[in-house]
Amino acid sequence: MSDDLAALRKRLEQEESAYASFLAAVDRLASFALPAERLPELPGQLARLNALWPALPAPEGRGPAAQVRRGIWDTVGPSLARQSEFNAVLVQILNGHLDETARLHAHLRDLFAELTRYLQRVLPVMDARDRVSSTLATSRAELILESFDRRLESLARRLEGLGALRDRIETLSEEVRALIGTLSARAPEPHAAAVAKQAAEDAVYVAFEGRFRGEPEEIRERLASYVELFQGLSPVLELGCGGGEFLELLRGQGIEASGVEANLRFVEACRLRGLEVAHGDLVAFLGSRPGALLGGVFAAQVAEHLPPAALLETLRQSHRVLRPGGLLVLETVNPRSLVAFLEIYNRDLSHERPLHPDTLRFMAAAAGFGDVRIELRSAVDAASRLQAVPGEGLPPRAAEVLNENVQRLNDLLYGPQEYALIARR
């Protein structure tokens, strides 16, 4: 969640809390009592006041006593009349004030009640609006994603077409470079056209290697662990050295090394980088080498390209040219890994046949090597393998059996993608 979205959510929570507090305050204020409800004796007192305020009547009757009362009345009457008028005005003001106050209080309570009812209706409306907005936003997002998916599908189709075009361009580029380079170097020779044709054909495989085997840096990184096996074993010969990545690694460690490669484009590329590489058939080249002279023979992703007879002859000649204690290392695709067989071996049409580790080990022993072992390499990433079954909710033995079967399937489907035959003379 972004900082802006978190701040917005916090502000929304604060406003919702303030709204709830305001609604509670309005509801509390709307529940006040009217004066008549708080002072139940007030109406009686007001009635009594209204009964008492009129002025007393003038005394009547005859006789000395009556005359005395009339004399007194005549003396205090004017004052009583003024007091009576004052009382009348005061009572009228009190009556009017109390009536208006009662109406105002009743009006205020009705106003608070209506306000409370309205606010109680507003909150569900706001919630409904938010739900509608959320639904509309979800619908808009779904429409956008659907449109985006369609665009991705269209783009994927275009990229597939571009990928095929790129492969063709890479192949044509390699063919053109091969033809130009070969014709320039060998034009005076009568067989220049045949050499150029061979170079163009070789260029197709160079383009294939560049497309599927990886960049030179990736190849060097993958082969780097073999270098230490050849420490102190100079000179080393690499069969089918390709672009010369392993030869460069050996040279970097001060190990004398050379190679042989049938692909002319690779040979020329290696020589441009100062590597000693012969052009020719590796079996014939081995047969021409003196015996017991080399300290090591190495080949990566070569053995599966050789027919059985040529492979056996390669093993025999390697044993012959190695001095005692010399080392042979052959790396190839592991056909016991289904993912390697389907995704690596089957991709290259120049592969002759898959080599089972037991088969290659037997052939090396038959060729005279005494110390022969197989080393599995290039494990499949754990995230790509089948995952173990959790044991919760299953009988005690069920999860164990299931996971044993999962492991067997992983070994079959996602075993190491390559193996190396390591044989000592």
Say if residue 217 is in the same domain as residue 143: no
* Structure token digits, residue 107: 């009006």
C-beta neighbour count of 117 within 10 angstroms: 11
Tokens 């042979």 belong to 328
Does 72 map to a domain?
yes
Rounded CA separation 135/143 (Å) = 12
Residue by residue, DSSP assigns 170-198 as: HHHHHHHHHHHHHHHHHTTSTTHHHHHHH
Residue by residue, DSSP assigns 329-362 as: EEEEE-TTSHHHIIIIITT-TT------HHHHHH
Rounded CA separation 179/100 (Å) = 112
Say if residue 138 is in the same domain as residue 269: no
* Structure token digits, residue 134: 């959320």
- Give how far the C-alpha of residue 167 lies from the chain's centroid of Cα atoms, to the nearest Å: 30
Tally of structural domains, the chain: 2
The torsion angles phi and psi of 197, rounded to 5 degrees, stand at -65, -45
Does 380 map to a domain?
yes
Give percent of the chain above pLDDT 90.
Answer: 34
* Structure token digits, residue 333: 């695709």
Q: Contact 255/234 with Cβ under 8 angstroms?
A: yes
Q: How many residues does the chain have?
A: 425
Say if residue 238 is in the same domain as residue 129: no
Residue ending a domain, choose from 114, 130, 147: 147
Say if residue 137 is in the same domain as residue 242: no
pLDDT reported for residue 412: 83
User: For 168-217, what is each residue's pLDDT tens digit?
Assistant: 666 666 665 666 666 566 555 555 556 555 555 555 555 555 555 668 88
Question: What is the mean predicted confidence (pLDDT) over 124-148?
Answer: 64
Q: What does DSSP assign to residue 58?
A: P
Say if residue 230 is in the same domain as residue 355: yes
pLDDT reported for residue 339: 86
Say if residue 113 is in the same domain as residue 224: no
User: For 269-328, what is each residue's pLDDT tens digit?
Assistant: 999 999 999 999 999 999 999 999 999 999 999 999 999 999 999 999 999 999 999 999
Does 8 map to a domain?
no
Say if residue 379 is in the same domain as residue 275: yes
Burial 378-408 (b: 16+ CB within 10 A, else e): bebeeeebeeeeeeeeeeeeebeeebeeeee
Q: Contact 369/424 with Cβ under 8 angstroms?
A: yes
User: For 219-272, what is each residue's pLDDT tens digit?
Assistant: 999 999 999 999 999 999 999 999 999 999 999 999 999 999 999 889 999 999
User: For 62-109, what is each residue's pLDDT tens digit?
Assistant: 777 777 777 776 777 666 666 666 677 677 767 776 777 777 777 777
Q: Cα separations (Å) of 394 from 399, 400, 402, 403, 409?
A: 6, 10, 10, 12, 21
Q: Which domain covers residue 386, as residue numbers?
A: 213-424
Helix axes 357-366, 308-321, angle to 10 degrees: 50
pLDDT reported for residue 86: 67
Picking from 199, 327, 357, the residue whose alpha carbon sits closest to that of residue 266 is 199
Say if residue 260 is in the same domain as residue 380: yes
Say if residue 265 is in the same domain as residue 367: yes
Does 218 map to a domain?
yes
Does 394 map to a domain?
yes
Does 30 map to a domain?
yes
Whole-model pTM above 0.85? no
CATH of the domain at 254: 3.40.50.150
| Residue 94 burial (C-beta neighbours within 10 Å; 0-12, 13-18, 19+) | middle
Residue ending a domain, choose from 130, 147, 164: 147
- Give how far the C-alpha of residue 398 lies from the chain's centroid of Cα atoms, to the nearest Å: 33
pLDDT reported for residue 206: 57
Say if residue 122 is in the same domain as residue 226: no
Does 11 map to a domain?
no
The torsion angles phi and psi of 346, rounded to 5 degrees, stand at -70, -15
Does 106 map to a domain?
yes
pLDDT reported for residue 81: 64
Residue ending a domain, choose from 102, 127, 147: 147
Rounded CA separation 139/49 (Å) = 73
